[in-house]
């Protein structure tokens, strides 16, 4: 089932690339495996998936220990500063950096471990109160400040679009994030290498691809609906 879902999602990414004249190699599918057991992740792995997204530090670390070592782990959830130390040397990319304080902590812990961490700046493009992320207005100045820190490199931007029935409603937000991305490239900021736009989830990844996404983050479309226990209700936002 999981292999078929992945094939289906990839086919639709192919179609969205063709439609918008993009090269298929520019778009990577991240399998968002939060709440799902390692057995299901292994099915995705066997179907060729090497990029996995998790939103909880402890869960990411547990799965990291159990899964093959050639996986690229993406931290896509809100990150608390006191947990940064557990993942800096395990993640391929942190998508959810939205403050200077968090970036400073990542920089400090990366320095201790002797690694350079790749990060994205999360932008709350739709300005939803329930979501994390910097505002569009503050995004560029935040990039400028964070770019001065050692042991990390800004690679691009990420957004979580609103939950909508019609994915076309989110096109405006993807377009806006792309515009900020282009504005940052034009500024030529030292130590900033803008190459990643992480946007699009199960409901709207095709629209995101036509607006320039380089990573799409698909959970439900690959692994099916998630079951949340009461202590995980915060994940539902
Ligand atoms: C859960 C999650 C996803 C995947 O959502 P689906 O709608 O299941 O595809 C993508 N991005 C982030 C940040 C998430 O937390």
What pLDDT is attached to residue 227? 87
Tell me the CA–centroid distance for residue 77 and ligand 1, in Å.
Answer: 9
**pLDDT confidence band for 230 (50 / 70 / 90):** low
Q: Residue 167: helix, strand or coil by DSSP? A: helix
What pLDDT is attached to residue 228? 78
What percentage of the chain carries pLDDT values higher than 70? 96
- pLDDT above 90: residue 145: yes
What pLDDT is attached to residue 104? 98
- pLDDT above 60: residue 71: yes
Tell me the CA–centroid distance for residue 131 and ligand 1, in Å.
Answer: 13
Tell me the CA–centroid distance for residue 224 and ligand 1, in Å.
Answer: 12
Write out pLDDT tens, residues 180-204: 999 999 999 999 999 999 999 999 9
CA atoms 164, 165, 167, 168: torsion sign: negative
> Using CA positions, which residue lies closest to atom 10 of ligand 1?
217
| Cα(219)–Cα(201) distance, integer angstroms | 7
Buried b / exposed e over 53-75, threshold 16 CB at 10 Å, is bbbbbeebbebbeebeeebebbb
What is the reported pTM?
0.95
Find tokens 């998508």 and name the residue: 95
């Amino acid at each position: 089932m999981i292999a078929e879902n992945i094939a289906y999602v990839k086919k639709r990414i192919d179609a969205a690339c063709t439609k918008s004249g993009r090269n298929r190699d520019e778009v990577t599918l991240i399998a968002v495996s939060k709440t799902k057991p390692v057995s299901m992740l292994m099915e995705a792995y066997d179907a060729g998936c090497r990029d996995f997204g998790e939103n909880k530090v402890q869960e990411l670390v547990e799965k990291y220990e159990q899964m093959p070592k050639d996986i690229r782990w993406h931290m896509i959830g809100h990150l608390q500063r006191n947990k940064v130390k557990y993942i800096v040397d395990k993640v391929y990319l942190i998508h959810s950096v939205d403050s200077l304080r968090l970036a400073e902590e990542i920089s400090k812990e990366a320095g201790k471990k002797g690694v350079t961490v790749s990060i994205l700046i999360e932008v709350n493009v739709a300005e939803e109160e329930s979501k994390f992320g910097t505002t569009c207005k503050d995004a560029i100045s935040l990039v400028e400040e964070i770019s001065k820190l050692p042991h990390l490199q800004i690679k691009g931007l990420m957004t979580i679009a609103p939950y909508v029935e019609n994915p076309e409603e989110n096109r405006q937000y993807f377009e806006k994030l792309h515009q900020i991305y282009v504005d940052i490239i034009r500024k030529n900021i030292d130590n900033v290498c803008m190459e990643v736009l992480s946007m699009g989830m199960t409901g709207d990844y095709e629209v995101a691809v036509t607006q320039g996404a380089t990573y799409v983050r698909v959970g439900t479309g690959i692994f099916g609906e998630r079951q949340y226990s009461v202590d995980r209700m915060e994940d539902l936002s």
